[in-house]
Amino acid sequence: MSTRRAALAAAALVVCVMIAAAAPVPTVTASETGVHRAYVFTRSGQVQVIDTRDGRVVTRDDTGAWTTGAAVSADGRRVYVVNGWAGLVTAVEPGAGVVGRVDLGTQLAQAVLRPDGRRLYVTGSGVVAVIDPGRFRLVAAIRVGRQPQGIAVTPDGAELYVANAQDGTVSVLDTRSASPIRTVEVGGLPQRVAVAPDGGEVYVSSLHLGEKAGTVTAIDARTGGVRWSVPVGDGAGSLATTPDGRRLYVARGRFVTVLDTATRTAEHLEIAAKSLAVAPGDRRVFLATGRSVRILDSADHSTPTTLQLSALNDDGRGVEAAAIGFERPG
């Protein structure tokens, strides 16, 4: 390690110790019934597992390449990192490090793991790559629209929804046959996808560059038709629903928009978050806010806790959260 890098690391450690000594241990709302670990993926390729009860970084591993997406196994023993610019999908066992890589040879975007854990789906360059996590190899590729980005799976694991950014469409795929079912026109530049907890609706965030606006569109999962589409303000990216399906949270850069899925009314919170996530059965919303993860209580929108990320990148700069994932309870 260079003298400059060592000095920076030492300084960061001193600051962290001072903060820990000065600040009380945070109290996390609903922690008794919520998830106890958050898997935070940094843009530079790190995987940090953080205890949500006390903010402690439990493990830290490094994939060595830029992260664009990620997925966590049900038991949390293995995570899958999409090193998008490098065209890699990297398997990591938290605390043990990298245990495998699949080189897909093309730029990649997002990933989702089927609920039964038997298939991992990764978007990139006009296809959805299908990976067998057990043997950790590519087993199929499903053709979709241009520049696929966000991807989500239904609670029963039967269907995938893929946001095609350059087509203004969402591809619906059958996971059993690894084939397309239908294509839904939503307009704009679709970015991310989220499925309601009951599987009845699918929500898509889209950008509209000419209008400098973002929208959220709801698709009827049974018929494939568009139920409604509402503007949410400038930008629209990562999105997630609460466990009861009543609220949808949308990351919009400088703001987080809270959308009532029944009345379609919106509330805008002045919180800068690049991505967000809600764990199964947990009412808290986890926001990627730069070098920290801010926890928002969906009951009253208070923010009782901020989880600080640990360590520096190789160039001496602080890490920055890109995505957040969780184990499945029970």
129, part of any domain:
yes
Task: Tell me the C-alpha distance between 77 and 93, whole Å.
Answer: 6
Per the structure block, which two tokens stand in for 66? 């830029």
β-pair partners for 62: 46
202, part of any domain:
yes
Q: What pLDDT is attached to residue 85?
A: 96
Task: Tell me the C-alpha distance between 8 and 231, whole Å.
Answer: 44
Task: Tell me the C-alpha distance between 80 and 99, whole Å.
Answer: 10
Are 258 and 267 a contacting pair, CB within 8 Å?
yes
- SS3 of the chain: the string is CCHHHHHHHHHHHHHHHHHHHHCCCCCCCCCCCCCCEEEEEECCCEEEEEECCCCCEEEEEECCCCCCEEEECCCCCCEEEEEHHHCEEEEEECCCEEEEEEECCCCCCCEEECCCCCCEEEEECCEEEEEECCCCEEEEEEECCCCEEEEEECCCCCEEEEEECCCCEEEEEECCCCEEEEEEECCCEEEEEEECCCCCEEEEEEEECCCCEEEEEEEECCCCCEEEEEEEECCCCCEEECCCCCEEEEECECCEEEEECCCCCEEEECCCECEEEECCCCCEEEEECCCEEEEEECCCCCCCEEEECCCECCCCCECCEEEEECCCCC
Instruction: Of 61, 58, 104, give the one whose Cα is nearest residue 79.
Output: 61
5, part of any domain:
no
Backbone angles phi, psi at 224, to 5 degrees: 80, 5
Q: How far apart are the first and last CA of the chain?
A: 43
232, part of any domain:
yes
206, part of any domain:
yes
**Torsion over CA: 173, 174, 179, 182 (sign):** negative
15, part of any domain:
no
Residues contacting 295, CB < 8 A, separation 6+: 28, 29, 52, 284, 285, 286, 287, 303, 304, 305, 306, 307
Q: Burial letters for 265-287: b for 16+ Cβ neighbours within 10 Å, e otherwise?
A: ebeebebebbbbbbbbebbbbbb
Pairing of strands 37-42, 321-325: antiparallel
Q: What pLDDT is attached to residue 317?
A: 55
Look up residue 70 and give its amino acid.
A
Q: What pLDDT is attached to residue 328?
A: 86
Question: What is the chain's Cα-based Rg?
Answer: 19
At 95-130, the pLDDT tens digits run 999 999 999 999 999 999 999 999 999 999 999 999
At 10-65, the pLDDT tens digits run 333 233 322 233 333 333 334 445 899 999 999 999 999 999 999 999 999 999 99
pTM: 0.89
37, part of any domain:
no
Are 122 and 89 a contacting pair, CB within 8 Å?
yes
On the 0-12 / 13-18 / 19+ scale of CB atoms within 10 A, 320 is middle
Domain that holds residue 190: 42-325
Q: How far is CA 91 from the centre of its chain?
A: 16
Number of domains in the chain: 1
Q: What pLDDT is attached to residue 210?
A: 75
Give the full edge-to-edge strand order of the sheet including 46-51.
57-62, 46-51, 37-42, 321-325
List the CATH number of the domain containing 203: 2.130.10.10
What average pLDDT values come out for the chain (330 residues) when binned by 10 residues?
A: 39 31 36 80 95 94 96 97 98 98 97 97 97 98 98 98 97 97 97 97 93 90 96 93 97 95 96 94 95 94 90 62 89
2, part of any domain:
no
Q: What pLDDT is attached to residue 195?
A: 98
